[in-house]
Amino acid sequence: MHIELRDIRKTFGDVRANDGISLAFEPGRIYGLLGENGAGKSTLMKILAGYQPADSGRILLNGQPAHFATPADALRRGVGMVYQDPLDFPPFTVLENYLLGRDRAVNLDFRQAAAELRAILDRYGFAVDMDAAIGSLSLGERQQLELVRLLAGGAQALILDEPTTGISASQKDALFATMRRMAAEEGKSIILVSHKLEEIQELCGHAFVLRKGQLVGETALPCPNRALVEMMFGQVPERTPRPPAAVEQPLLEISGLGVRTQRLTVGDINLSIRRGEVFGLAGLEGSGQALLMKAVAGLLPAASGRIALDGLDITHLDYHQTRAAGVAYVAAGRLEEGLIAGLSLTEHILLAAPRRDQTFFIRWGAARETTSGRIALCEVVGVPDSTAEQLSGGNQQRMLYAMLNEGLRLILLDQPTRGLDVRSADYIWELLYARRREGTAILFYSPDLDEIIERSDRIAVFSGGVMSRIVEAARTTADELGHLIGGQQ
Amino acid sequence: MKVVPLLKRIWPLMPVLASLAFILALLLIFGADPATAFQALWQGAFGSRDRLLGTLAFWIPLALCAIGLMLTFTAGLWNIGVEGQLILGSIGASWVALNLKGQPAWVLIPLELLAAMAAGALWAALSALLKTRGKVHEIFSGLALTNLAIILTNYLISGPWQPPEGGSFRGTQPFQEAALLPRLFDSRFSPLSLVLMSIALVIVAVLLGNTTWGLKLKALGRNSRSAFLLGVSSEREAVIAMMACGALAGLGGAVRVLSWFDSLRQSISGGIGFLALLVVMLSAYRMFWVPFVAFFFSAVLQGSITLQLRTQLHSSLGGILTGVLVLLTLLFGDYNHLRRLRKESRPDE
């Protein structure tokens, strides 16, 4: 299907998310849509997928103008989109989820649906248990199911928004192979939204680059990375050099720690983190890194062992007590865990302040001033009275850092730069390095091995609840970590 | 495009117009003259000094409960048990009135009010602790505790507190004059209760708008997970919010026994607790509107008593009017909110 977008415009308040974008997609080809955070990629694709209307501009499918009121509308015309967070129904089984919205009869025909679903799964080489509950699947598998739903709905054009965030390397390879086949054999148009240059280079034949809501360039791929980066940012951003290594003084000492949840048991963790150290945790999502961080934060009880911070036993402190002891925990979810929709940025800063700084009556003037300073420092695009949900995803992430208080001893970060582009991520790390110079230690998990190697002093890898030996970041490679993730020592 | 701002402006009036149309249709079906009916309603609420004072007297406890509910609704708690908390307040005040004999009013009244607030707060604390410690949703514990409060009232009236001439299931004997709130012109309206209600209104408005505690409640109500991660203790704040609401409802209960009636009666609450829930919803959870909406409810309900006398229509017409209005308001919702639901989206990364 030939898709053409003509002069698409969309504003959110004062922000011109799409400022007159015109481009075209041919059938049977794979396109990359690149741009930094807030460049307007997701907005443009959501317009094309019927998720939101444009303020003005036209969508032409095979030369015919199209108007989509809903995503279902768009799918009927052959345009489907896989979102960053799957829009499935966790309590359902795979088969039930497939039937949802497809079969409107009172008496559902499970047998026929199972046959249909099996045929699609086989055709694209997806291995998913049809009776498994959606909630028990990995993000990669849920993504495959989203694809299946769109394909079954007759999608001729597929949009994938950051599809490789949070999935394993082998799932990524399988996904890319499927996309190549769909383009080559079935003539589907595929659009990959990403800010990971390597992936775009690997998969796509053509790239469009957006900046500040406008189309600033397009090129055939592969091409030098440098050319893409220049188009994305206007200039090539300098990476901050990593400040010198940590001071030799133990801060966090974990001995024989065990954590149990219904899904996973983590046993016998021994770890000593030094003052001012950046310690990276690698591994597939759900391998135990998050449990370790939650146990340290006091969000999960330790089943065994001891956790000491600066000599103080914090093993049995609850989350709020641990927080008072100078430990900050930044969760991966933004509007789910950390920010509160409907509350202003000032109100967030007030809530996050340490208890001793909280006064009975709120001094709004002073609070707004503090907030202005904090959001300026963390480059949050917004004003103190903006509400959390008015911020774009990247700005929400930066807001989480603006809420970190002074004088912290330990910062725990779950996917610190999730969804941020290179420059924003670099800036966040600059802020974190500044903390580290004050002696704050940082313990973080990231699904991105390159980020872990580049940012950490030392690294531990988790695989199925077991922590590997500790490796020096300066002397390891993504390849070595990959082996450790696979459970090889 | 000019239609949208206009629609936005008149949107809050839509449910009012729609429910008036509904009542109009109802009146026509039953063959009543709408003009007479609405006139009777107005007369009943404001037609004479006594009627106006009656409307005011009914308004006070309703507003007190609604003000208390602003705290729990803000914290995301469905304090359905406010009805029971009001009844417990009545019982608390009655206990002091019946047991402290021969004391002057300036001793009795403060003690009665304190006992009422303590009893209401205690009843609410039960709901709150069942929620935080026992994982029992406050809606269910609230309903159960309200029923228990009604049973307790009936037991007291027919048992330990029955009048000397024998239990009649109707009420206790009238309290001593010194125990009752001073009332205006022999009516049921006590100016002191209006003063107390105004103080409560200002305190709660300030708490919600200008204190760290109010901000914590707001955070809890909107996203308890994030609020917890930001350092808000959900258990502590929920218990305090529930108890504060219970205390205000209890104060409302004291006003019911000490000025509306003069004794503890069988249906002492008059459904005011449940009405207060509707008041807060119709006020769109905005403090500013709460006293006005409560007053409107009181006027309609008082007015419909006269409506029955004049037009032979049952007085529940007032109840129908307020009920339909709340339903339609919830149905139409906030225009901006509806728009947001339609286009839940932001400029994204």
Which class would CATH give A3-233?
A: alpha beta
- Each residue's pLDDT tens digit, B337-346: 545 544 444 3
Q: List, edge to edge, every strand of the sheet that includes A250-260.
A: A265-274, A250-260, A304-309, A312-313
Q: A104 is written with which tokens? A: 């409107």
From the number of C-beta atoms within 10 Å of its C-beta (0-12, 13-18, 19+), residue B242 rates as buried
- List the single range of A140-149, B100-109, B190-199, B324-333 with lowest mean pLDDT: B324-333
The residue written with tokens 């036993």 in the block is A313
Q: A82 is written with which tokens? A: 């896989």
Q: What is the distance in angstroms between the Cα of B129 and the nearest Cα belonging to chain A?
A: 20
Q: Which of A354, A351, A344 is nearest to A375 (CA)?
A: A344
Is A363 within 8 Å of chain B by CB? no
Output the pLDDT for position B341.
46
The residue written with tokens 């001439």 in the block is B165
| Residues of A whose CB is below 8 A from B347 | 12, 15, 17, 38, 40, 43, 392
Output the pLDDT for position B343.
45
Output the pLDDT for position B196.
93
| Residues of B whose CB is below 8 A from A41 | 348-349
Residues 6+ apart with CB under 8 A from A24: A2, A3, A4, A5
Residue in chain B nearest A294 by alpha carbon:
B229
Q: Is B241 a residue whose pLDDT tops 90?
A: yes
Output the pLDDT for position A198.
78
Is A404 within 8 Å of chain B by CB? no
- The fold of A237-337+407-489 is Rossmann fold (3.40.50)
What stretch of H or E contains B311? helix B290-311
Q: In which residue ranges of chain A is pLDDT below 70?
A: 13-15, 37-38, 85-88, 101-107, 165-168, 195, 234-247, 333, 486-489
ipTM (interface pTM):
0.80
Contact A175, A164 (CB under 8 A): yes
A90 backbone dihedrals φ, ψ, rounded to 5°: -50, -35
Residue in chain B nearest A297 by alpha carbon:
B229
Could you tell me what percent of chain B has a pLDDT over 90? Answer: 25
| Residues of A whose CB is below 8 A from B225 | 336-337
From the number of C-beta atoms within 10 Å of its C-beta (0-12, 13-18, 19+), residue B20 rates as middle
Q: Which of residues 171-210 of B touch A (CB under 8 A)?
A: 210
Output the pLDDT for position B162.
80
**Mean pLDDT in residue range B252-275:** 87
Q: Is the peptide bond before B347 cis (omega within 30 degrees of 0)?
A: no
Q: Which of residues 98-137 of A touch B (CB under 8 A)?
A: none
Output the pLDDT for position B334.
57
How far apart (Å, rounded) are the C-alpha atoms in residues B17 and B27? 15
Q: Count how many Cα atoms sit within 13 Å of the Cα of residue A164 in the half-sphere of its side chain.
A: 22
In angstroms and rounded to an integer, the radius of gyration of the C-alpha atoms of chain B is 22
| Residues of B whose CB is below 8 A from A419 | 349
Output the pLDDT for position A380.
82
Output the pLDDT for position A238.
57
**Mean pLDDT in residue range B180-209:** 89
Q: Which of B341, B330, B324 is nearest to B22 (CA)?
A: B324
Instruction: State the span(s) of chain A assigned CATH 3.40.50.300.
Output: 3-233, 237-337+407-489
